[in-house]
Structure 1
Amino acid sequence: MPDVREHVLNGSRGAVVVREWPSREPRYVALVVHGYGEHVGRYEEVAGVLVEHGAVVFGPDHMGHGKSDGERVLIEDFEEVVDDVRAVAELARSAHPGLPVVLVGHSMGGLISARYAQRYGDELAALVLSGPVIGAWELPERLLALDEIPDTPISPASLSRDPAVGAAYAADPLVWHGPMKRPTVEAFARTLETVAKGGDIGPLPLLWLHGDDDRLVPLAGSRVGVEQLRGRRLTERIYAGARHEVFHETNKAEVFAHLVRFLDDRLRD
């Protein structure tokens, strides 16, 4: 893969660091939108698959995440994060005018991507949601009912059946390993409601990927959100035994095959 490049944009709340995985002759742009507490550098393998498939890949570290500015994991308004992703899309389009754009969002990134598609779906060729935080996700309500949010970080074992994934996550200095912050949890709750009421995505093709043993973002809750969001062109892939990060799972080759097959079908439209 060609050398990774970094860009710095003026985001909603300071500098947003954007990673680019270049392609010599790209036929589409892929925007990767990472999840809570992590950073886009964890998507190196996904980006490699997409580059090999013909994409130039861009992905930001969200405010308060990774290399970007802001208090760690503090997001007070997810609409601002959507604005930042739009700025990344504009950066990509200015460098590669005329190419179709697909959006790939995981977990919290699925919430951001769903909202992006509601606001700017006519600018996208396809939407991919992996373990998305949409629909009936019960965690914010449970946490907000407490006087103090407990310091219980994400269990690395909940990410994948591959223990190396959890070990790398636990050792990653750019990953947040502390408690959630109340303003961020409140923002999650508000945005879940906003997406639920924001309408479906009409003709935009949607691929939904989820593990049926996802204990962080349970399948049944996300299904509620997918049914609210889906337009007329939904493809779903549910993986038996898979945990939260299907792109890092033991069956990731199957997941990647489904991803590129979906994109092939959509880019031929």
Structure 2
Amino acid sequence: MVAEQEGTFEANGHSLYTKSWLPDGPPKAKLIFIHGFSDHLGRYSNFFPQLASRGIAVHGLDQRGWGRSVRKPGDRGHTGPTTQVLADMAAFITPHLPADPAAGPPVFVMGHSMGGGQVLTLACHPDYQESVVRRVRGWLLESPFISFSPEEQPSALKVFAGRLAGMLLPRHQLKHEIKPEHLTRDPEVRKSLVEDELMHNTGTLEGLAGLLDRTAALAKGEVRPLEGGALRSLWVGHGTEDKTTWFEASKRYFDKFTGAVADREFKAYEGWYHQLHADGPDSEEFYRDVGDWILKRCNEDQPQAKPGERPESKL
């Protein structure tokens, strides 16, 4: 039995919508989830209950400017600069972290698409290594935005003009619609994407500029896990036929820049599109992969009995 709880989270005076999916009984792990561009928590109604049914509590928020955190049209896409984006994430993650890692369920952080790029940027940021990163057991990226796919790549002129305009009119809103047929192979999901009123496909020039800058820094390897840093475990999953973010860029980043992470895994989903969590019946495999990866690390962290001893039971 999975319980769902809605609430709000106050981030620097801004109220953000939150939702949790809780297992029946004490959680084995906690997963903090960060969604992508023009996305919201309601789009994961199959994925999160599956994880909760295996004992993984899932906690997420509709980010500033997205989903149910938008209160008026002027809020759409108003994420603020990258410093604000990272601060919001860190503020949301921190209360879920146990003061003593041995005393509570391990915490994992996962991001999809734009959220994957944000999560990776946070995990590599020197200012958050001790306060957040070291206290997180593992980080997961679903189709992370490390580069546009060839199908979605904007022209250099458009990028330059957008950055220049962003400095002059940071809150000016701009539509950026991603074709539903580029997101998933499932026709029913495509239909629901078109009909979803919470997916407004609107960013501010400031927010879009920050998104482009984060992506460029990741693609160039300027942002990468720190040698001797606190990023302990990393999982990356990406569809080879993703038409929104680029599989090749994720694989290249993983191969070139994650050597400082001892426990790391890259999963290529052959023929899959962008939304691994909503790509038709095959998505059950993705649910299993994520759950297995998390639970394996929970089990590894449990004290192991010495030969000839019986494991200590917990009443």
| Normalised TM-score (structure 2) | 0.76
Q: Which one of 205, 211, 225 corresponds to residue 200 of structure 1?
A: 225
2:159 to 130, 144, 151: 144
Give the corresponding residue for 1:159: 183
Pick which of 210-219 and 137-146 moved more: 137-146
Q: Is the Cα contact below 8 Å between 2:144 and 2:245 reproduced in 1?
A: yes
Unaligned runs of 5+ in 2: 166-172, 301-315
The reply to whether residue 72 of structure 1 matches residue 76 of structure 2 is yes
Whole-angstrom CA distance in 1 between matches of 2:28 and 2:91: 20
CA contact (8 A) 1:30 1:101 kept: yes
CA distance in 1: counterparts of 2:249 and 2:137, whole angstroms: 26
Letter in 2 for 1:79: T
Instruction: Give the whole-Å Cα distance in 1 for the aligned partners of 2:157 and 2:194.
Output: 25
Q: Is the 8 A contact 1:135 1:224 kept in 2?
A: no
Matches within 5 A, 1:23-62: 23=23, 24-62=25-63
* Partner residue, 2:87: 83
What's the CA shift string for 1:149-200, capped at 9, x where partnerless?
985511111111111111111111111135x432222101222355532331
Q: Using the alignment, how far apart are the partners of 1:13 and 1:242 within structure 2?
A: 40
2:250 to 211, 222, 225: 222
Choose which of 96, 99, 104 in structure 2 pairs with 1:98: 104
Counterpart residue number, 1:11: 11
TM-score (norm 1): 0.88
Identical-pair percentage: 21
- Superposed CA offset, 1:30-79 (max 9, x none): 11110001111212222112101211110010000011147211223233
Instruction: Mark the CA change 1:135 to 1:225 in structure 2 (over 3 Å): closer, same or farther.
Output: farther
Alignment CA distance shift 1:110-1:13 (3 Å): farther
What amino acid is aligned across from residue 156 of structure 1 in structure 2?
A: P
Relative distance call for 1:198 and 1:222 in structure 2 (3 A) is: same
Task: Give the paired residue count.
Answer: 268
Point out the more displaced range, 250-259 or 156-165: 250-259
Unaligned regions of 5+ residues in structure 1, if any? none
For 1:174, the aligned partner's letter is L
For the 8 Å contact 1:13–1:63, the answer to whether it is kept is no
Aligned to 1:241: 271
Give the match's secondary structure for 2:33: strand
